[in-house]
């Protein structure tokens, strides 16, 4: 069994990694110290910006949730949590992860940055960007709304870590009330929320 240490904080993208570890049935050491974790020199040795999530897998540092969940899924091929390397389905995994990172996540992340004082102080906020963020997120989400009209999941029409990754970004959109007119996405999110190990929050 690999030795895994996860630096995490509940509401952050580390929820993706925690969910993956639970689905994989892998034991891991959780390093969670509330917001004080961002001051940790131990964390900065793993992630150069001191951000979450970050992980040590058999002593090797890895950061960015997309990289970590993919690496963990590959540790347990018998669980079939991800499409096999070298297959077209694996290409689709990368496609949807990149789509979430480039077409969806930047906008909800920007809205959050410009709405709360935790990341940058209020006097540095640009509130006028929020309406544009919402518009761009909704526009991108139409691709997923169309996909889920014909499919229950993203890859191979079965649950995988691709759904863990993208589902988190869609949950973020639900939190900002951007998906109220997306019934296929809402049905998809209900499927994810029904899983025993789901770490998403119902909005």
Q: Are residues 71 and 105 in the same domain?
A: no
pTM (whole model) above 0.85 = yes
Any domain includes 203: no
Domain range holding 62? Answer: 4-79
**Percentages helix, strand, coil for the chain, rounded to the nearest 5?**
55, 10, 35
CA 161 to chain centre: 9
The pair of three-digit structure tokens given for residue 64, joined into one six-digit string: 């960015």
For the cut 90, the answer to whether the pLDDT of residue 1 exceeds it is no
pLDDT for the residue 150: 98
CB burial string 22-51: b at 16+ within 10 A, e below: bbbebebeebeeeeebbebeebeebbeebb
Q: What are phi and psi of 3, to 5 degrees?
A: -90, 120
Tell me the per-residue pLDDT of 6-44, one tens digit each, with 9 for 90 and over. Answer: 999 988 999 999 999 999 999 999 999 888 898 899 999
CATH number at residue 187: 1.20.1050.10
pLDDT (mean) for 62-83 = 98
85-104: average pLDDT: 98
CA distances from 92 to 7, 17, 126 (A): 28, 20, 35
On whether residue 201 sits in a domain, the answer given is: no
Q: What is the pLDDT of residue 172?
A: 98
Question: Looking at 31, 49, 79, which one is the last position of a domain?
Answer: 79
């Amino acid at each position: 069994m690999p030795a895994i240490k996860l630096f995490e904080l509940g509401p952050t993208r580390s929820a993706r990694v925690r969910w993956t570890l639970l689905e994989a049935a892998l034991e891991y050491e959780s390093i969670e110290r509330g917001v004080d974790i961002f001051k940790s020199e131990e964390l900065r040795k793993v992630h150069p910006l001191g951000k979450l999530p970050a992980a040590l897998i058999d002593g090797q540092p890895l950061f960015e949730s997309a990289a970590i969940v993919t690496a963990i899924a590959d540790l347990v091929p018998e669980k079939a949590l991800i499409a096999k390397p070298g297959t077209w389905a694996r290409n689709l995994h990368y496609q949807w992860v990149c789509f979430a990172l480039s077409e969806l996540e930047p906008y909800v992340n920007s809205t959050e940055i410009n709405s709360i004082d935790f990341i940058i102080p209020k006097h540095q906020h640009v509130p006028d960007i929020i309406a544009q963020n919402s518009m761009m997120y909704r526009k991108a989400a139409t691709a997923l709304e169309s996909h889920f009209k014909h499919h229950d999941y993203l890859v191979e029409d079965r649950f995988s870590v691709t759904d863990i990754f993208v589902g988190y970004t869609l949950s973020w959109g639900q939190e900002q009330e951007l998906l109220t007119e997306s019934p296929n996405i809402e049905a998809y999110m209900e499927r994810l929320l029904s899983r025993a190990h789901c770490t998403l929050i119902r909005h």
